[in-house]
Chains A and B, each alone.
Chain A
């Protein structure tokens, strides 16, 4: 399959990065701005911080600016979120509702290692820097 689709790998990666970043940012906007369908700003300082990381980090990942750093921080945040909120409920991620956190955690770790790729501000800046 990769023999035929291989040349689209950068595009598929960019799509994945943008979609995941935007959905991640929406968790932040849900916490901070009650959109879409939030329960209002949380009183908990930690939750507010989580919302800021999700909103800002998710947008940075989506547009591809400081991608590696943003993704690394987001990945760490998801690891903390998993162990603070989900791990105690049940062992398997499927049952403790933490599957999404695990998936985001490893996905953002991969994005941190991979970098922004095409369709990103980082790539634009690199081109300009090289010119």
Chain B
């Protein structure tokens, strides 16, 4: 018994062709927003909060700036994402867990959770590697998929 599933439902070969671009876009946008958390901590931009003075927030800020840039550009993105993911996990449990509720929605830690899992995935995949570049080249044969 073979059931035909519309290919659009499960990521069709056509949409898979754009997958590396969507991945690069996600990396760039998320990476740059991550950087801005760092710049806000270190230099007070953007925002009106004064720059951080305690060592913990300064080191968090530097991790966010450096790792975010590396992830966005795609250089050593795997390493940078691994460190950033760990930072976000620490940030969640130090700052958000239990503060105002159990659920990430209530303790304002949703962003940290999302970044942690996103960077974990980026750590397993890295930047625009050669393997991915090969996927970028449009394939003639879109009817077969591996």
Interface string of B12-42 (1 = CB under 8 A from A): 1001101101110110011001001100100
Pick out which of these stretches binds chain A: B55-63, B118-126, B136-144. Answer: B118-126
| A106 contact from B3, B25, B123, Cβ within 8 A | B25
Assembled-state Cα–Cα distance A19/B103 (Å): 12
The reply to whether A110 and B124 form a contact with Cβ atoms under 8 Å apart is: no
**A residues within 8 A CB of B106?**
36-37
Contacts known (A103-B111, A128-B3); A115 close to B22, Cβ less than 8 A: no
**A residues within 8 A CB of B125?**
2, 6, 9, 12
Would you give the shortest CB distance from A84 to chain B, in whole angstroms?
19
Whether A20 sits at the interface, judged by CB under 8 Å, is yes
The reply to whether B78 and A12 form a contact with Cβ atoms under 8 Å apart is: no
B1, B102, B120: most-surrounded residue (chain A CB, <10 A): B120
**B residues within 8 A CB of A68?**
8-12, 15
The reply to whether A116 and B11 form a contact with Cβ atoms under 8 Å apart is: yes
Contacts known (A1-B123, A9-B124, A128-B3); A110 close to B9, Cβ less than 8 A: no
Assembled-state Cα–Cα distance A122/B8 (Å): 11
The reply to whether B4 and A66 form a contact with Cβ atoms under 8 Å apart is: no
Number of interface residues of B (CB under 8 A): 51
The reply to whether B129 and A2 form a contact with Cβ atoms under 8 Å apart is: yes
Assembled-state Cα–Cα distance A92/B36 (Å): 9
The reply to whether B114 and A107 form a contact with Cβ atoms under 8 Å apart is: yes
Whether B51 sits at the interface, judged by CB under 8 Å, is no
Assembled-state Cα–Cα distance A100/B109 (Å): 11
Contacts known (A99-B111, A129-B4); A114 close to B22, Cβ less than 8 A: yes
Whether B99 sits at the interface, judged by CB under 8 Å, is no
The reply to whether A109 and B124 form a contact with Cβ atoms under 8 Å apart is: no
Assembled-state Cα–Cα distance A126/B103 (Å): 33
Question: Please, which residue of chain B has its CB at the minimum distance from the CB of A20?
Answer: B114
Would you give the shortest CB distance from B121 to chain A, in whole angstroms?
4
Whether B47 sits at the interface, judged by CB under 8 Å, is yes
The reply to whether B29 and A102 form a contact with Cβ atoms under 8 Å apart is: yes
**A residues within 8 A CB of B30?**
103, 106-107
The reply to whether B117 and A93 form a contact with Cβ atoms under 8 Å apart is: no
Assembled-state Cα–Cα distance A8/B117 (Å): 13
Whether A69 sits at the interface, judged by CB under 8 Å, is yes
Interchain Cβ contacts under 8 Å between A and B, 13 examples: A1-B78, A1-B126, A12-B121, A15-B121, A19-B114, A66-B9, A94-B37, A103-B33, A106-B30, A110-B23, A112-B11, A114-B19, A114-B22
